[in-house]
Amino acid sequence: MGRFLIIIILFIATLFGCQPSDDNLQNTGQSSIRAEDFEKHIQTLASDEFEGRKPFTPGEEKTINYLKDEFSRMGLAPGNGDSYFQEVPLVDIHAVPEEKMQIEGKGKSLEFSFREDFVALTLRVTDQVVLKNSELVFCGYGIVAPEYGWNDYEGLDMQGKTAVVLINDPGFGTDDSTFFKGNAMTYYGRWTYKYEEAARQGAEGILIIHDTAPAGYPWGVVQSSWTGHKLYLQTEDNNMSRCAMEGWLTMEAAGQMLSAAGLESNVLESARKPGFKAIPLGLALSLQMHVSHEFSTSQNVIARVSGATRPDESIIYTAHWDHIGIGPSVEGDSIYNGALDNATGIAALLEIADAFAQLEEKPARSAVFLAVTAEEQGLLGSAYYAEHPIYPLEKTVANLNMDGLGFWGKMKDLTIVGYGQSELDDYAKEAAERQGRYILPDQQAEKGHFFRSDHFSFAKVGVPALYASGEHEQAEKGIDWITEQRDRWLQQHYHQPSDEFEADTWDFSGMVQDAQLLFDIGYRLSQEQTYPHWKEGSEFKPIREAYMPGQ
């Protein structure tokens, strides 16, 4: 009876209540984010029926239709005109180099073997690539960074030449956080940047010298990732503005090359010193590649909750829907289900979308939900969106990305990957504190995780982006326990058929907590007039300022 009375009182209070406060609105939204919904989405998306959700397979059809149906059931509007889809034109390129790369000059002749000593490919949509006596230049880290007063290509004409560069950036392995970012990797340290910069310099080819510590992975990973079929975005110039050859060289092969050039291997160390000047090696490289290609189209899925007063301003949530499909069988299982990676992120995307859709009073700005394709192939779906934005970048307030949420229960921390980049850190801190959590910078910043999921595609076009989740301290079991769980998962299940959903062992409370926190941040942003800024020293700040002066 008492309980019944309370319900009646609450009901009357609701009827006669004043304008609900922001916090009430948020509670309405947050309470719709529930463990049972997470379970339903993940169980479906990570089922064998979805075949590991690889682009261009029946698994893509099932996944994108599931997303469309869920968005429309929740009452979200299509995000691309009257469509829930954005077509992403891709090209599958298979470049096969000759078995031997020839290096000649200074009376010496070297032969490097494909896979053993080097890997090489091309993004150019063409039938054949021929490098004939392309002059080799050791260009240090291959970095042009005006904000650090650094230019490894100073005074060079790279036309027809091949740059040989080091991985990571000069700050790697130092404690000096003012020298680049010390041990934390800047974008200048990523291989993607090295290739982009070499192309801007007009180089014909580029070879990155592999080194396990600064790369963050052994040569075997380079071998398997850089051979075979690869997917890329279709571009208007058929990628002819990229270098003809992009590749890697082992440290041993690089050593042989330097000694043939009459140099000591300590020239590699000299590249760290400010004022380093590139060194022409007096050697030339020759290599041919046979190239085949096939065009196809995949889909991003996009939906929207329109803002009530400033619908043209958007907060964009992202998660990648794709995984790696069917592959080599491991213990009799060949379906790479991608339960954690990234059915969890997609489930969170759907739950946050539902929370916005259920708000009694719509937010001032729009909330956009973008499930992107081909992340596993190199962030392609998000890169395509960023280059073909449906919502103008200068009206895009922020990107909040979800990739791989943990199933180990509630966390005391919120680990921010790329901590220190933007004011979104401050929003994250406040939201974390409202949940009784603390924030923590990425504990492995030297690995460059900030550049390895879809938020980075937004950062690259200047939109402040946040990538954060709880991973360091489990609420009851502490730091050591969760560290051991996560390490074991990475070793045994990351990108393996065994990344599967286990109804008996998965605890959804941490995902619910993270999704509620990201809803909270997006909701705050959606009610504000201002735009969050990149912090001073961020490599993305000048990009934003170029089209939003004073931001």
Residue 344 or residue 474: which is nearer to Zn ion going by CB? 344
CB under 5 A: which stretch of 85-93, 127-135, 398-406, 429-437 binds Zn ion? 398-406
Q: How far is the CB of 197 from Zn ion (least distance, A)?
A: 26
Q: How far is the CB of 454 from Zn ion (least distance, A)?
A: 8
Q: Which helix (H) or strand (E) holds 4?
A: helix 2-16
Residue 156 or residue 374: which is nearer to Zn ion going by CB? 374
CB under 5 A: which stretch of 54-62, 258-266, 333-341, 414-422 binds Zn ion? 333-341
Rg (CA), the chain: 25
Residues 522/307, Cβ–Cβ less than 8 Å: no
Total residue count of the chain as it appears in this document:
551
Question: Dihedral (C-alpha) 535, 541, 544, 545: value to the nearest 10 degrees?
Answer: 100
341 binds Zn ion (CB under 5 A): yes
User: CA–CA separation, 544 vs 548, rounded Å?
Assistant: 6
Residue 300 or residue 342: which is nearer to Zn ion going by CB? 342
- The gap between the terminal CA atoms of the chain, to the nearest Å, is 58
Q: CA quadruple 226, 228, 232, 238: dihedral positive or negative? A: positive
CB under 5 A: which stretch of 7-15, 104-112, 122-130, 339-347 binds Zn ion? 339-347
| DSSP label of 321 | -
Q: How far is the CB of 418 from Zn ion (least distance, A)?
A: 16
Q: How far is the CB of 459 from Zn ion (least distance, A)?
A: 16
Tokens of 418: 């790329």
Residue 341 or residue 351: which is nearer to Zn ion going by CB? 341
Residues 324/337, Cβ–Cβ less than 8 Å: no
Q: How far is the CB of 341 from Zn ion (least distance, A)?
A: 4
CB under 5 A: which stretch of 19-27, 40-48, 259-267, 396-404 binds Zn ion? 396-404
CB under 5 A: which stretch of 152-160, 264-272, 399-407, 504-512 binds Zn ion? 399-407
Distances (CA, A) of 285 to 74, 120, 135, 148, 291: 58, 13, 6, 32, 19
Residue 162 or residue 344: which is nearer to Zn ion going by CB? 344
One residue of 80, 342, 366, 399 binding Zn ion per CB under 5 A: 342
Residue 341 or residue 500: which is nearer to Zn ion going by CB? 341
Q: How many residues bind Zn ion (CB under 5 A)?
A: 3
Question: What residues from 402 to 421 belong to the interface with Zn ion (CB under 5 A)?
Answer: 403
Q: How far is the CB of 336 from Zn ion (least distance, A)?
A: 12
Question: What residues from 288 to 317 belong to the interface with Zn ion (CB under 5 A)?
Answer: none
Q: How far is the CB of 169 from Zn ion (least distance, A)?
A: 24
Residue 318 or residue 513: which is nearer to Zn ion going by CB? 318
User: CA–CA separation, 350 vs 303, rounded Å?
Assistant: 10
Query: By C-alpha distance, which of 321, 326, 328, 324 is closest to 301?
Result: 321
Distances (CA, A) of 56 to 45, 62, 122: 16, 11, 22
Query: By C-alpha distance, which of 363, 445, 423 is closest to 544?
Result: 423
Q: How far is the CB of 345 from Zn ion (least distance, A)?
A: 7
Q: Where do contacts with Zn ion occur on this chain (CB under 5 A)?
A: 341-342, 403
